[in-house]
Homo-oligomer: A and B are copies of this chain.
Amino acid sequence: MTVQTQTPPTVSDMRSAADRLRGLAVETPLIESPALNERYGARILFKAEVLQRTGSFKFRGAYNKISSLSDEERRRGVVAFSSGNHAQGVAASAALFGIDALIAMPSDAPAIKVANVKKAGAKVVHFDRVRDDRMTFVKPYLEEGRVLVPPYDDPAIVAGQGTIGLELIAQSERLGVKLDAVIAPCGGGGLIGGISLAVKDALPETSIWAVEPENFDDTGRSLAAGSRVSNAPGHTSICDALMVSEPGAFTFEINRKTLSGAVAVSDSEVKAAIRDAMAFLKLVVEPGGAVGLAAITSGKIDIAGKTVAVVLSGGNVDYDAYAGIIGGA
């Protein structure tokens, strides 16, 4: 079965994922800054996935995927490739199930992410982000019998990330507000794919916006082209979590139907957003996690008069990198 023939997860699949995650994943709070609301003439509800177990949303999908495996599959152990947040999600989930995990990480992954994966008890092997093809690199481990936990192109992963959408719906109802828009980071598209399926089901008029780093705006250009296009090679970004070569095949089939659009933000816009998150929200947000806020602070998404949810997807950033961004104002 190729990924293209898989069906997107339903809201019922996401509810099952939420049941599995209960007591393990954090129902992350919506955080608000009266000062930021005033500055943008809007109501901004920040979904603080930086406070999620492992410091990013990735735990949700990884745990749900490993839950969906058979006992026999779990005994064989799992393998994953990831710049770090998915790696930590898989490592922590495997530890909770008491199974073996091997993670392939790019050699330039942030040190804190590598350290956390090892601390969770997983084995780490390194690949070269530019030179190595990820699937070719992990093939020998699959041949050993390990089961792949893909970073995004998988219904169980997307269902896990979709639990953020279910929480956003319930939390905004409790606040008595109607969400005009949801703004979320986009790398391979699993996070925004899951959220958009959940939100569009309950709130069909809410618009969903993807935010990507400049030069990694493959989803934005693919939406415009009507089919998947790749990023030009040779670029880099401070948003290590969002550096993909093209949208996922499975996730793009979802996102082409659910997204209102995508915008791209520069490294300096992301740094300004990280500083704002520190000063106004008191949250540590990593570069890839801050692109949604950067889309607002840079004026690329106009939210005046609206109520919007912005997903701060992760907070795993090295001390020195973070100090450099905060001190570089």
Contacts and interface: CB of A to CB of B under 8 A. Distances in A.
Interface of A: 26, 29, 31-32, 34-35, 50-51, 53, 55, 92, 112, 116, 119, 275, 278-279, 281-285, 315, 319-320, 322-324, 326-329
A18 B53 CA distance: 30
A98 to B, nearest CB: 15
A282 B32 CA distance: 16
Which 5 pairs between the two chains have the least Cβ-Cβ distance?
A323-B327, A282-B315, A50-B282, A323-B326, A282-B284
Nearest to A278: B284
Given A31-B51, A283-B284, A275 B329 contact: no
A288 to B, nearest CB: 14
A97 B29 CA distance: 28
A320 B327 contact: yes
Given A319-B327, A320-B327, A323-B327, A282 B31 contact: no
Contacts of A275: 319
Contacts of A315: 282
Contacts of A31: 51
Contact of A279 (B112, B326, B327): B112
Nearest to A314: B282
Contacts of A51: 29, 31, 281-282
A55 B281 CA distance: 8
